[in-house]
Amino acid sequence: MGIGDFYAANLANPLITEPTERVDMVNGRLRIRELPNNPEHTGPYRVMVVDDSPAPSAERGVVKWATLPTNPGGADCDWTLLGGVNNNNVVTAVGASTTCPNDANLVGVGTTNPWAKLHVRMGTSSGVSVGTAGLFNLDGIGGKAGEFIVNGPASANIGVNVSATGAQSSLWTEGNIGLRSNATANVAGYTYSNRAYEAIAGVASGVQVKDNFILDGQTILASGSSVVDNYGIRAKLWNYGTATNNYGGHFWSWAPQGLLTNSYGIKALAEGGANNYGLHAYAPVSPTSIAAYVHGSGVITDGPWGHSDAGLKIGIEDVAPEDAASKLDLLRVHTYAYNTEEYPYMGLPMGNQVGLLAQELEEVLPELVMEVNAPEHRDREGNLLQASMPIKVVNQTALIPYLITGHQAQQREMESLRVAMQELREQLAACCANPSSDHRMAPTPANASADELLLGQERLLRIAPNPFTDRTTLYYTTERSGRVQLLANSADGRDLRILSEAQREAGAYQFEWSTENLAPGVYYVTLLLDGEPLVKRAMKVGR
C-alpha cells in the first residue's frame, strides 16, 4: 500500500516500482486521532522509534524499536530505577563501566557544579528562616539513618565536615550551629541510656598516635571581633523530672595498673588573661551544697586562699583572748588510723594520723563542723561500689584564728608572770637584806602564773572539777598555821572577791565555790598564807 509516490518512495533503487514496506509514506506527518481504550500496558513492551540515518540510506525513516533511555540523547545508565510498585527508587554512580557513572563520579543535587561525592544544595526563598539541605530519617526497629566512612592512605581523613555560616540571631537557640544532635527517649518503659552524642577515638594494636582526642575543639576570635563569653565546652543540664545524679561534666581516665604514666580526670589550663581561672566551681551556699568534693589527697602549690576581705564581712567583733584560750583547752588531740578497708573508695590517707574528732570539736566550736553527703562511687559499667553516706567534715583553717588569739593570751600571761616574779624577787631581796623591817609580801596578782607559784613545799591547792560550769571545789593544804585567804581574780588581773579569809592551823581544808554569776572564761584562784601566794588557773565553760 503506497501513500504518495511509489517510485519516489524507493530511495535505494528508483527503478523498482514496488515498495518494500507495506505502508510507505513519502512525506507529511502521521497523526493518530484516538488512542485505544485498553488499560495501560504494564508488561514487557518495546518502544517504536524512527531511524535517523543520513540519506540516501535505505533505513532512513524506517520505524524500529529500541530500549527507552532514562536520559534522552545521553547514556542509558546515568540514573537507574531499581523497580518496585512505582518504579521510582533511583540510584546513580553504580557499576564499573567506563561509560556509565561509577564510584569516581560526583553527584550533584540542586547544584550543577558538585565538588563532593554527594553535593546537596538547597536555596531558600526570601523570608524562609530554616532550610534543610538533607534529611535522614529511619523508621523501624533499629539501624542507622546515615553512615559516613572514610578509609584510605590520605594524610587527613574526615568522616563528616559540617559548616554553618551566615546566620544572625538574638537568641541562644538560634545562630550558627555546626552540628546539632538529638536523642529523645519518648517510648514509655525502661531504656538503659540516652545519648545525643557519642564519639570514640580508638587506636588499634601496633599503631602509634601522639594525640588521641575524643573531642578536639577550638574557638578562634579574629582581630576586630567581639565576644562576651568564650567557652571551650559548655554543658547545661535542665531537670524537671526525677534524676538521681546530675553531672555537668563527667570525666573518667582509666587504664590497667602500670600501663598509664599520668592519669588526669580534668586538666585545666588558663593563661593570657587579666584574670585566669584554671577551674571555677560554684554551688549555691546551703547546708547541702559543696562546690568541690575531692576523694584523696590534694596539692595546691600556692594556697589555698580564702575570702577574708573586710568588705565581704559584717558584724565584725574581736574574740577575747581568754575565750579563745578556754576553748582550746577543751580540745583533745588524738592519734588514729582511717578505716580504709571498710571505705576503700573515699581516698582516705593510710598509716598513723594525728588530729581532732569532728564530734568532739562540734561540742566546743560547732561552727567549724558541717555534715555532708559523701558521693557514691561506681565502676566503669555503672555498678554501685559504695553508696552515698552522711559524714562530718571540719573547717581546719578556721582553727587558726583561735590558735593566734590563744597564743596572744598566753604571751600576756607570761609577761604578767615575768613582772610578778620580778616583784617577788625584789620583795624577797628587801626582806633578806633587812630582816627587822616590816616587809610584808603583798599578794601577787592573780594572773601571776599559768599554773602555780609554790612557796613552801607542803602547801597544795587543787580545783575540782576544772573546767566547771556553775560550781567547783577548792581543796587546799597549809604547812603551818597562819592567816589564810582564798582570792578569785579574772584573767586580766582584776580583783573579783575574797572567797574565804580565816586563821587556820596547819592541815587540809576545802571550799565550795559557786560560779553561777560568772561568765565563761579563764580565772585565777590565789591561796595566801600570811601573804605568801599560791596560784592556780580555773576555767568556766558554758552549758
Domain ranges of the chain: 1-79, 402-540
Helix (H, G, I), strand (E, B) or coil at 394: strand
Position 111 scores a pLDDT of 72
Give the pLDDT of residue 208. Answer: 92
Residue 111 burial (C-beta neighbours within 10 Å; 0-12, 13-18, 19+): middle
In this structure, what are the phi and psi dihedrals at residue 417, rounded to the nearest 5 degrees?
Answer: -65, -40
* pTM as predicted: 0.55
pLDDT at 127: 53
Closest CA to 101 of 119, 117, 123, 83: 117
Mapping DSSP to helix (H, G, I), strand (E, B) and coil, where does residue 368 land? helix
Cα–Cα distance for residue pair 510/472, rounded to 1 Å: 10
φ, ψ of residue 66 to 5 degrees: the values are -155, 160
Amino acid at the residue 162:
V
Is the peptide bond between 56 and the residue preceding it cis, with omega within 30 degrees of 0? yes
Measured in whole angstroms, the distance separating CA 540 from the mean position of its chain's CA atoms is 48
CB contact at 8 A, 4 and 24: yes
171: cell is 537568641
- pLDDT at position 79 is 55
Residue 443 pLDDT: 42
Angle at CA 458, nearest 5°, toward 468 and 423? 80
Q: Which CATH number describes the domain made up of 402-540?
A: 2.60.40.1930
Q: Please list the pLDDT of the chain residue by residue as tens digits (543 residues).
A: 556 655 555 556 656 556 666 677 777 777 878 878 888 877 777 888 888 889 888 788 888 888 765 555 455 555 555 555 555 555 555 444 445 555 666 777 777 677 777 787 776 555 555 677 778 888 777 788 888 888 888 888 888 888 888 888 888 888 888 888 889 998 899 998 898 988 999 999 999 999 998 888 889 999 999 999 898 888 889 899 998 888 888 888 888 888 888 888 899 989 998 999 888 888 887 777 888 888 888 888 887 888 888 898 899 888 888 788 888 888 899 999 999 999 998 889 899 999 999 999 999 999 999 998 888 888 877 788 999 999 999 998 899 998 998 888 878 777 777 776 676 666 556 655 554 444 333 344 444 443 444 444 357 899 988 889 899 999 999 989 999 999 998 877 666 688 999 999 999 999 999 998 888 888 889 899 988 888 888 888 876
Residue 540 CB neighbours (<10 A): 20
- The whole-number pLDDT of residue 95 equals 46
CA 229 from chain center: how many Å?
Answer: 18
d(CA 534, CA 441): 13
The single residue listed with the C-alpha cell 568532739 is: 360
Which contiguous run of DSSP H or E holds residue 1?
none
Report pLDDT for 427: 59
